[in-house]
Structure 1
């Protein structure tokens, strides 16, 4: 399976419209594995957060991330909820030293986080596509920046990862870009991961694994797309970009400085 990075993937990072706890240098300055080159997909004004509009209480923060997090209608026609539809807001995924993901209590620097799972059911000759959208509100932009950098580091530390009992991703490549670099003309930071996804319950053979995550101030938004058989990588990247851009637009609307 050939994994390509191009303008379609960039669209998810720069076209405005289950992360773990992160503790590392800035994603925009980290050294990454060679995932490929990116071209410009669109230009927008750099996001400026209005501190007065950012919730500081966990309950209000959770209300905000519920407003921001993409559901099935964010991906396109035919997508439906996939159980469990929403994650437990008290949980936080952590990648262990054994490269296996586990749930742990929410860390103190996170005000709220939520993941929503969706899917496009298998039909005709094409397999099921699985998606998940995650929004996390940190107490500070610096803490959100740490999350981005740790996400980038995880792909380098664990190119093969166990997601759940039957789900595994392999051969991850990652690339991080700060605002104004590698075509990132929208977010404070952007990172991408590409690899292959395997789940025997969906049949034999690997499919695409695509992760796109951006930071706008203290908020990180991410969309993962897994599978499905018979879909071109470009088609899946378009679906991913649509969801990321929609959430990015909502962040700007809810938290951006008013002019």
Structure 2
């Protein structure tokens, strides 16, 4: 892990760049629990996404969307304590939780469809090697199960195909899920240029994170986001790329989005923020203690 993370998970130096997380939810017009204001975005990439039931969101000189009407208090899910009795103890229990915590295409927007292949198996794990190339390996000891679903928004209306991945990982305990975020922070410092697979690269990566209570983070125990450029032999580029991860107890959830021609980073942010927030709500409902 090295000294970048420091004691425990520590106040890593990357948190100085944590404004990326605040910007992620400000641009998307989200509440502080990670849910988009006014519900799911109805616009498609390349257009101004206007949440259903709200007025149009203008864009100011700082690039942030003008405030939209927020959801009712019933749409907000506070940070409950984790109910240890609900926490998965076996791989089978973890795989069952995966299915109840991740998102489907309808949760991301009406224009989002499944990709092929759709869902990865729960027994493989991505690892960034010393050469900054992503590999897949068997699950480490601290992970009970993980799964990634693949979606896309078909090309059309002057823009290219947008790719979206949603990942849920169930660790054995909260400490190990926290270390997953710490490793992500270290990886972006170590490898600002990464190879996803042959013919597909991520460039100029930077990121930041906030613990619960820091800046705008009132919706997850630890929030991390990473942005940069996506380049591929198939799709061209560079195009915007963004990835957001959140933690609740032993669970981490993440959304990654790769842009295309005619798609801005702000367009991607709507889907990333909405998907991550939705999965966090589901994780809290599955593992949180009931009120009273």
Unaligned runs of 5+ in 1: 1-22
* Residue 90 of structure 1: aligned partner: 123
* Residue 253 of structure 2: aligned partner: 221
Q: Is 1:119 matched up with 2:152?
A: yes
Q: How far did 1:35 drift?
A: 6.1
* Residue 17 of structure 1: aligned partner: none
Give CA deviations for 1:114-158 in whole Å, capped at 9, x if unaligned: 110100011131000001011011111000000010011100000
Query: Aligned partners of 1:122 and 1:28: how far apart in 2?
Result: 42
* Residue 29 of structure 1: aligned partner: 11
The change in CA–CA distance for 1:27 and 1:221 in structure 2 (over 3 A counts) is farther
Count of aligned residue pairs for this structure pair? 236
Mapping 1:2-17, distance limit 5 Å:
none
Query: Aligned partners of 1:43 and 1:78: how far apart in 2?
Result: 25
Q: How far did 1:24 drift?
A: 5.0
Q: Give the TM-score, by structure 1 length.
A: 0.86
* Residue 67 of structure 1: aligned partner: 100
The change in CA–CA distance for 1:86 and 1:137 in structure 2 (over 3 A counts) is same
Query: Aligned partners of 1:54 and 1:113: how far apart in 2?
Result: 15
* Residue 277 of structure 2: aligned partner: 245
Q: Which has the higher contact order (CA 8 A, sep 6+)?
A: 1
Asked if 2 retains the 8 angstrom alpha-carbon contact of 1:131 and 1:226, the reply is: yes
For residue 212 of structure 1, the aligned residue among 240, 244, 249 is 244
Query: Aligned partners of 2:285 and 2:127: how far apart in 1?
Result: 30
Query: Aligned partners of 1:47 and 1:94: how far apart in 2?
Result: 31
Asked if 2 retains the 8 angstrom alpha-carbon contact of 1:138 and 1:219, the reply is: yes
* Residue 184 of structure 1: aligned partner: 217
Query: Aligned partners of 1:43 and 1:227: how far apart in 2?
Result: 25
* Residue 31 of structure 2: aligned partner: 42
Asked if 2 retains the 8 angstrom alpha-carbon contact of 1:179 and 1:188, the reply is: yes
Unaligned runs of 5+ in 2: 34-77
Mapping 1:226-237, distance limit 5 Å:
226-237=258-269
Q: How far did 1:242 drift?
A: 1.1
Asked if 2 retains the 8 angstrom alpha-carbon contact of 1:110 and 1:139, the reply is: yes
SS of the residue 1:113 aligns to: strand
Query: Aligned partners of 1:160 and 1:117: how far apart in 2?
Result: 23
SS of the residue 2:189 aligns to: helix
For residue 170 of structure 1, the aligned residue among 203, 211, 230 is 203
Query: Aligned partners of 1:92 and 1:104: how far apart in 2?
Result: 5
Q: How far did 1:254 drift?
A: 0.8
Asked if 2 retains the 8 angstrom alpha-carbon contact of 1:173 and 1:194, the reply is: yes
Which structure is larger by alpha-carbon Rg, 1 or 2?
2
